[in-house]
Structure 1
Amino acid sequence: MSTDALSRISWTPSFGGRLVEDDGIDAQDRVNAQCIEVYHYIVRHGAIAPSGFDRVAVELGRTGHEVVSTIMQLVELRLLRTDGAVGGRLVPVDPQYAATLLVSPIERAIYQQRELADQLRERIDSIAGARDSAVVPGGSIDRLEGVAELRGLLKQAADVCRDELVVLRPSHDDDEVLDRLLEACHGVLDRGVSVRIISPHRSRAGFASRAKSRRLIDGGAAIRTISQVPQASVVFDRSLAVVFGTSADGLLPTGHRVRDENVVRYLIEMFDQLWEGAAPLAADETGYADEVADDLQRSIALLMAQGLTDEAVARRLGMSVRTCRRHIAALLRSLGSVSRFQAGVQVATRFATGSPLGT
């Protein structure tokens, strides 16, 4: 079990401010340090019974009161639970799972409050519109900001999704944030909902991304890849879409919730067109198949022909500059080209005539 994530979990004390004790150490930092120390101790030992609290205090050089107080805080943080055995032993809980147990109800409550506000706004707009046809009711497209709001929205939408979930999953520097958001949707697989995901070709190459894809495919999702995936988005039951972005300062994820049927239909039609031309990904597949490699090299060459730099090409295709340069070098060798522009022109010509690369 990974315990590094504990250091990122901050205990919020019941008092309003932060206290600094006589030795100059912040009281909250001291409590966090005790939580980390005791939690790591229990992880190493696998479990702890109430009769063993005194031993923990002795081995860690803490008072009995400090150990009991710290264990109570770990239980409140869902980082410890009883195992149901006689004697009520406490066993450690994975930090990510504990965070989900604590945060999910908060995220759900935030989204429900947002839904209530939207319903009130739409009701007022509809009443105003009945009196004056010039008033246009709003609410078909609105904006949310922050991980908590977005996860609450996605979890709520996933809970009522019954038929189909489609996902456009590009690759960017904020992969971890997007994955955290999309995890809220994966529960639909347990209910047999059809899930289709389009990812970039580069997701076939990395070990971590292949592992994520394998888990989804094993759960019942269908995944295909293309060279460039447009804006990240999710569509639930062809009726509700969420299009992701970032705030103006680039610090927070944002999302536009779309309920306008024409916009949602456009997103679905775009997804279906991309899906038809995408390459299926199998759970046991590693690296690039010939078809995928050709498509990726063609995309690189066409971007090169536009005069884009290595950095710009890499950004467009959602890959690192180093990986992009490796593909460019291989492409130049296969085509026998002496320049980037020449390679782009050759690929464009062969694509137009239907000739394969490297011939």
Structure 2
Amino acid sequence: MAGHGTQEHPHGADRLCEAGDRVYSRAVRRGRVPRRDAEPVPCLLELALLHPDPDDMDWLVPTSPQEVMTRLLRGVYDEVSASQRRMGSAVAAFEWYAGLGALSTAVGAEGAAIRVLDGSARIQAALDEATQACVTEVLTVQPGGIRPEHELTEGLHRALELRGRGVRMRDLYTHVARHGQGLLNYLELMGDSVEARTLDEVIDRLIVFDRTVAFVPANADRTMALELRHPALVHYLLTVFERFWRLAIPLTAPLPDTGIEGISHREQSIAALLAEGHQDAVIAERLGISVRTCRAHIARLSETLGAASRTQLGVRIAQAGLDRPPRAADVTQRPSLSLPDQGSRTAR
């Protein structure tokens, strides 16, 4: 019956059908109506405007108009509240997308100022496109240690293409890269079209073409990259590169002596990072070496400086003047000094 009534009386309690209005009005005036009078208008039972009289199930009593009004207003209030929430969400979404639109408009004024490249294929395609458009210069920063052969091979076709057009290249590596035969072979093949220098540590990977477009990693595993064409961003990266370049040592030149017998340039770099409070893994990552190699150098430092513990090693590093990164200028200016408890060894 409920289904039948719903089909014949598709309305709510706020707007009764003519038959329902007559029966409900009569029930309100008289206090109750026979059940048979309500059979033609099942909507009254479905809307709970009438309900059985507990004293006599053959009769129906009305729900008070005040209760009906309260129920109707509560429903309207709920509908209005839901509409307000939907409206608030819509406005918030509009403001968010409008903000993105304004940003994209601002970016559009400079062209595709920042483009996210997702996946190795898109990154490779963008690099190939920039290589083909390059006419004067490529600058790169290559972090990490010894360059794997496959990395050098992957970039070789671009490098040869650039060399063929007379493009000059400058590459920054860590000192550890000097020990990689693959890099030495690559530089020999490229000849004077590539100039390479090294530092104790460098920034993350960077490639700049013609001082107009730069590529940097966008995540840790380098499966995403950013293509930057905004002049201010590219200029900033160029400034960083040039300052690193000025401090770097040409690959063809030897690393400066530390001036302390038994302590290598790398061990001096490790000592400076230890003095800054870095853990072994962080030091290894920054210098492009393995943690095992880093710890071997630390052990040799301890032995050379006569330190029996890490705490004592920190003190001895400071006493020996090793608590700052090595610089070529320091070697010639450092005064003679004796290592703690190592009277036979002097700083030169």
TM-score normalised by L of structure 2: 0.55
Aligned to 2:181: 207
Q: Give the CA RMSD over aligned residues.
A: 3.6
Aligned to 2:197: 224
Q: Is the 8 A contact 1:154 1:181 kept in 2?
A: no
Q: 1:53-83 deviations in whole A, cap 9, x for unaligned? A: xxxxxxxxxxxxxxxxxxxxxxxxxxxxxxx
Q: How many residues align?
A: 223
Q: Is the 8 A contact 1:189 1:219 kept in 2?
A: no
C-alpha displacement of 1:135 = 4.5
Aligned to 1:290: 256
Q: Secondary structure at the match of 2:323?
A: helix
> Does 2:325 correspond to 1:355?
no
Q: Is the 8 A contact 1:165 1:235 kept in 2?
A: yes
> Does 2:207 correspond to 1:234?
yes
Aligned to 1:70: none
In structure 2, how many angstroms separate the alpha carbons of the residues matched to 1:294 and 1:239? 39
TM-aligned CA distance change 1:189 to 1:134, over 3 Å: closer
In structure 1, how many angstroms separate the alpha carbons of the residues matched to 2:142 and 2:247? 16
* Correspondent of 1:151 among 121, 124, 146: 124
Report sequence identity in percent.
28
C-alpha displacement of 1:298 = 3.0
TM-aligned CA distance change 1:351 to 1:234, over 3 Å: closer
In structure 2, how many angstroms separate the alpha carbons of the residues matched to 1:270 and 1:215? 28
Q: 1:191-215 deviations in whole A, cap 9, x for unaligned? A: 2211000000000123334333433
In structure 2, how many angstroms separate the alpha carbons of the residues matched to 1:350 and 1:133? 42
Higher Cα Rg, which structure: 2
Aligned to 2:32: none
Aligned to 1:163: 136
In structure 2, how many angstroms separate the alpha carbons of the residues matched to 1:204 and 1:280? 10
In structure 1, how many angstroms separate the alpha carbons of the residues matched to 2:270 and 2:169? 29
Q: Secondary structure at the match of 1:166?
A: strand
1:180-199 paired onto structure 2 within 5 Å:
182-183=155-156, 185-186=158-159, 187-199=161-173
Q: Identify the structure with the greater strand proportion.
A: 2
Q: Which runs of 5+ in 2 are unaligned?
A: 1-97, 338-345
> Does 2:313 correspond to 1:340?
yes
> Does 2:234 correspond to 1:264?
yes
TM-aligned CA distance change 1:253 to 1:351, over 3 Å: closer
1:1-359 paired onto structure 2 within 5 Å:
135-138=105-108, 139-171=112-144, 179=152, 182-183=155-156, 185-186=158-159, 187-216=161-190, 218=191, 220-246=193-219, 250=221, 253-282=223-252, 289-291=255-257, 295-338=265-308, 339-345=312-318, 346=320, 347-348=322-323, 354-355=333-334, 359=347
Q: Is the 8 A contact 2:131 2:209 kept in 1?
A: yes
In structure 2, how many angstroms separate the alpha carbons of the residues matched to 1:155 and 1:259? 16
AA aligned to 1:242 is F
In structure 2, how many angstroms separate the alpha carbons of the residues matched to 1:133 and 1:167? 29
C-alpha displacement of 1:257 = 0.4
AA aligned to 1:191 is R
Q: Which moved more, 1:133-142 or 1:226-235?
A: 133-142
In structure 2, how many angstroms separate the alpha carbons of the residues matched to 1:134 and 1:146? 22
Q: Secondary structure at the match of 1:348?
A: coil
TM-aligned CA distance change 1:322 to 1:279, over 3 Å: same
C-alpha displacement of 1:291 = 4.7
TM-aligned CA distance change 1:197 to 1:305, over 3 Å: same
TM-aligned CA distance change 1:235 to 1:135, over 3 Å: closer
AA aligned to 2:323 is A
In structure 2, how many angstroms separate the alpha carbons of the residues matched to 1:240 and 1:275? 19
In structure 1, how many angstroms separate the alpha carbons of the residues matched to 2:103 and 2:273? 49
C-alpha displacement of 1:328 = 2.7
